[in-house]
Structure 1
Amino acid sequence: MLTSLLPGFRHLRTPFALGVLCAFQLWILIGGYVPSRSEAQGFIERIYTLGDVAGRAAVMAAISFLLYLVGDIVRLSSNQMTNILTRLRLPRIAPHRFSTLSAQSRYGLNDFASKAFMKRSDSPSDDDVSTLAQKMVMEFTEIRMRLIANHLDVYLEHDRYDAEADFRTNVGFYSVPLWPIIAWYWTPWMLLGVLASTVLFLNGLRARRDANEILVQAIVSGIVESRFYNEEADRDFAPSAGNVTIRRRTGTR
């Protein structure tokens, strides 16, 4: 039962942490403008009254839900994070740090992609191999679904790294504005916290590469099949207009 609950807790953790982080930053900026209970009037006074009626437990549950909702709205997916990094041109500065695939994974995927052309006795160009490998990377979402259906243990290991990557990259990204805000109200030394956020973000990218390494190995080792790879390998056997090729299979009785 604990194994089945863990993936759910992992995916709840990131939105809730982001909601708390955003709320804390807003509290530092505008917390002084929120009236106290004795000074509250109108709508703010009604909120205080509602808290007295509902009880502390209900108020905490409502606040937790709102924090989770805010965090889920601002959370960035891996594709959105990759697009941001590409627009900032960070992968060009340090490709090995900001890439979602390690050099070993990329080499293994390209080597596996080249075998699709060799099955047809073709000598593929580097561009053809890279294009097919990139298509397989775009297929990672489908690969995850196939692992859930047929190899749940492999998927759970991938999901652990993926959840860690999601948590670290998002918290690292959204915590960057926190340090200048605290530095403005307290001490400039807090700007050093930007380094901590950067390290956390880079650790998240490393976890993302580890998660994708599992998907690459699942494809290369044959645990799951790539649709794009099979289409490329069987291209010469596909029927075309005016020229139908029949692949004869050995029957069993």
Structure 2
Amino acid sequence: MLTSLLPGFRHLRTPFALGVLCAFQLWILIGEYVPSRSEAQGFIERIYALGDVAGRAAATAAISFLLYLVGDIMRLSSNQMMSILTRLRLPKIAPHRFSTLSAQSRYGLNEFAANAFTKRADSSSTDDVSTLAQKMVMEFTEIRMRLIANHLDVYLEHDRYDAEADFRMNVGFYSVPLWPIIAWYWTPWMLLGVLASMVLFLNGLRARRDANEILVQAIVSRIVESRFYTEESDRDFDQSVSNVSITRRPSTR
């Protein structure tokens, strides 16, 4: 039962942490403007009264659910975050650190993609192999679904790294504004926390590369079939069939 519940807890963790993180930043910025219980009037007073009626446990559950919704709305995928970083030109500083696919995985995927052209009469170019490898990277979502259906143990291992990557990358990304806010209200030394956020984000990227490594190995080891690879290989088969000539022998009657 615990094994079946763990994936759900992993996916709840990231949006809730983001909601808490954003609420904490708002509290630092505008917390002093929120009236206390004795000073509250109008709508704010009704909110306090609602907490009294519902009880502390119900109020805590409602706030937790609200924080989860806020975090789920703000959560970004790794592709969205990498797109933002690309616009900031950060990946050009250290391309190997800001990549979601390790050099070993990329090499193995290109070597596997080259096998789709081995039976063809004309030799494939490097661009053809790279294009096919990129198509297989875009197919990772489908590969995940096939692992769920046929190889759940492999998928659970991938999901563990994927959830860790999602948590670390999002928390590291959204915690960057926290440190300048605290530095403004407290001490400039808190700006050093930006480095901690960057390290956390890079650790998330490393976990993302580990998660993608499992998908690459699943394709290369033929645990699951890549649709694009199969289509490219079938072109060799179709070509060989079209080149077959049928010779009719003369009748001996």
Q: Which bracket does the TM-score occupy, shorter chain normalised?
A: over 0.9
Which residue in the other structure is 1:164 paired with?
A: 164
Which residue in the other structure is 1:18 paired with?
A: 18
Which residue in the other structure is 1:225 paired with?
A: 225
Which residue in the other structure is 2:84 paired with?
A: 84
Which residue in the other structure is 2:5 paired with?
A: 5
Which residue in the other structure is 2:187 paired with?
A: 187
Q: CA RMSD of the aligned region, Å?
A: 1.5
Q: d(CA) in 2 for partners of 1:154 and 1:245? A: 41
Q: Is the aligned partner of 1:176 residue 2:176?
A: yes
In structure 1, what residue type is equivalent to 2:69?
Answer: L
Q: TM-score, normalised by structure 1?
A: 0.93
Question: Kindly tell me: are residues 49 and 90 of structure 1, through their superposed partners in 2, closer, same or farther at Cα, counting changes over 3 Å?
Answer: same
In structure 1, what residue type is equivalent to 2:216?
Answer: V
Q: d(CA) in 1 for partners of 2:168 and 2:135? A: 27
Partners of 1:169 and 1:200 within 8 A in 2: yes
Deviation string, structure 1 residues 36-62 (Cα, Å, up to 9, x no partner): 010000000000000000000000000
Deviation string, structure 1 residues 171-195 (Cα, Å, up to 9, x no partner): 0000000000000000000000000
> Displacement, 1:121?
4.2
Which residue in the other structure is 1:249 paired with?
A: none
> Displacement, 1:245?
8.5
Task: Give runs of ≥4 in structure 1 deviating > 6 Å.
Answer: 243-246
Question: Kindly tell me: are residues 223 and 30 of structure 1, through their superposed partners in 2, closer, same or farther at Cα, counting changes over 3 Å?
Answer: same
Which residue in the other structure is 2:57 paired with?
A: 57
List runs of 5+ in structure 2 lacking aligned partners.
245-253
Q: Is the aligned partner of 1:71 residue 2:67?
A: no
Deviation string, structure 1 residues 213-247 (Cα, Å, up to 9, x no partner): 000000000100000001011114449xxx9789x
Q: TM-score, normalised by structure 2?
A: 0.93
Q: d(CA) in 2 for partners of 1:69 and 1:232? A: 43
Q: d(CA) in 2 for partners of 1:19 and 1:40? A: 25
Taking every aligned residue pair, what percent have the same amino acid on both sides? 89
List runs of 5+ in structure 1 lacking aligned partners.
247-253
Partners of 1:237 and 1:245 within 8 A in 2: no
SS of the aligned residue for 2:225 comes to coil
Partners of 1:136 and 1:226 within 8 A in 2: yes
Q: Which is higher, the Rg of structure 1 or of structure 2?
A: 2
Which residue in the other structure is 1:145 paired with?
A: 145
Which residue in the other structure is 1:196 paired with?
A: 196
